Chain A
Amino acid sequence: MSATLMRTVPALRGALRSGVAKPAAALASTSFVRGKATLPDLPYDYGALEPYISGKIMELHHKKHHQTYVTGLNSALETIASGDPVAAAKAAPLLNFHGGGHINHSLFWENLAPASREGGGEPDGALAKSIKEDFGGFDTLRKQVNTALAGIQGSGWAWLVKDKNSGTLSVVTRPNQDPVSGPYVPLLGIDAWEHAYYLQYENRKAEYFDAIWNVINWKTVASRFEKA
């Protein structure tokens, strides 16, 4: 990645950089090999989140959808690195879309875990304390996230974020693949695109939003919270 790219796309800069510089940190699986994004391995089997998310959904979502974002990101990066400013400007929305898709899904896989292992339950420790302070309690947080998810008009994501400056937790939504940026550090993201649930839940998206709480990996969320 050239320095020019880093200057042009501030929204993606931090996330891309942390993917390169801190391979073992929060974005462990936003992997890059020699400046090229690669599809990260899932930290569990495709079928491991059943019955809450089917193996077929997980396989397509990871192997096809996420791969398409990785491919699109690399092709946008190549265009931008080619030095043609007109082509680079044209590729900027593609960089945002595919780069965002790569970042969001990489974060998403890690904040899920099988219900038989770390998945589900409730957060504890400092994270739980912060949730209590900022939302009143875990149930309220869950309700707020589900309301935010249900209110997305089209494709998008809902995130539990921490404001770097104030330390406050809040729930935000982002359309399409726009990544969380600015003062917000993403702690927990939920994919509300139809491809994330349709094969199993069809139009009944509220059921998916309810089910996903059984496979949230609070250990990952807590570790992102502590580093943020």
Chain B
Amino acid sequence: MSADTYSLPKLPYAYNALEPSISAQIMELHHSKHHQTYVTNLNKALQSLKAASSAGDIAAEIALQPAIKFNGGGHINHSLFWQNLAPSSSADAKPDAAPALMADIDKTWGSYDKFKSAFSTALLGIQGSGWGWLVKEAQTGLRIVTTKDQDPVVGGEVPIFGVDMWEHAYYLQYLNGKAAYVDNIWNVINWKVAEQRYHGGAKDAFSVLKASM
């Protein structure tokens, strides 16, 4: 495997481990098909970029940027997403697993419930495909951001956790009822991973990508 070949990371749990919040069928398609497609197309785009670069073809290099952003973003986002989920029965899925982060959430939003409601509103306000993220920024502290399509949060902020709001993330189970998906995702957030990311930098959060090269 060359240095610019990415591969699909293994899920840290079984496909059915997030039931009943997210069905095994969704998890399997989402991971083995959707995420795999981003990885495959990212590798293709990077290979073309290499060829364009060694040929000194800057027009071709520029033309490849959207594909790299979209598929690279898809790979980054899903890799972070799998890690920031956990079976609801595990200790990691309890907000207690993130004491420092939770204190900051209380300070920023007033309470965990108020944060949850603000985050859920942001998720349901996405028009089209996209993601909602809790991020930490050096200057502004904790913030909720939404991103369109597969735009990744790579602007220096630390992604604490993300929620996939593409229809493929919930449709087979929730159909058009995305509010119920958003309600249930709170049962499977991995607060232990969120706490780790909260203490680390952006580089630490993205280390999962290095591991899957």
Contact = CB atoms under 8 A, between A and B. Distances in A.
B29 A203 contact: yes
A153 B149 contact: yes
B44 interface: no
B171 A198 contact: yes
B149 A154 contact: yes
Interface in A171-190: 175-177
B115 interface: no
A60 to B, nearest CB: 6
B172 A198 contact: yes
A153 B127 CA distance: 14
Contacts of B150: 153-154
Query: What is the interface residue range for chain A against chain B?
Result: 20 to 34
A194 B171 contact: yes
A154 B176 contact: no
Interface in A196-228: 198-199, 202-203
Contact of B127 (A60, A97, A194, A202): A97
Contacts of B167: 155, 193-195, 198
A176 B168 contact: no
B148 interface: yes
A194 B166 CA distance: 8
Contacts, number: 53
B165 to A, nearest CB: 10
Nearest to B166: A194
Interface in B1-44: 29, 33-34, 37
Contacts of A156: 128
B127 A177 contact: yes
B128 A195 contact: no
Nearest to B148: A154
A176 B128 contact: yes
B176 A194 contact: no
Contacts of A195: 167, 171, 176
Contacts of B33: 202-203
B29 A176 contact: no
Contacts of B148: 154
Interface in A51-110: 60, 64-65, 68, 93, 97
Give the interface centre of B127, B150, B176 by most chain A CB atoms within 10 Å: B127
A68 B177 CA distance: 11
A155 B171 contact: no
Interface in B147-187: 148-150, 166-168, 171-172, 175-176
B201 interface: no
B127 to A, nearest CB: 5
B129 interface: yes
Give the interface centre of A156, A193, A199, A202 by most chain B CB atoms within 10 Å: A202
- 9 smallest beta-carbon distances between A and B, as pairs: A154-B149, A176-B128, A194-B167, A154-B129, A155-B128, A203-B33, A64-B176, A153-B70, A155-B129
Given A153-B66, A153-B149, A155-B129, 6 more contacts: A156-B128, A193-B128, A195-B171, A198-B168, A198-B172, A203-B37
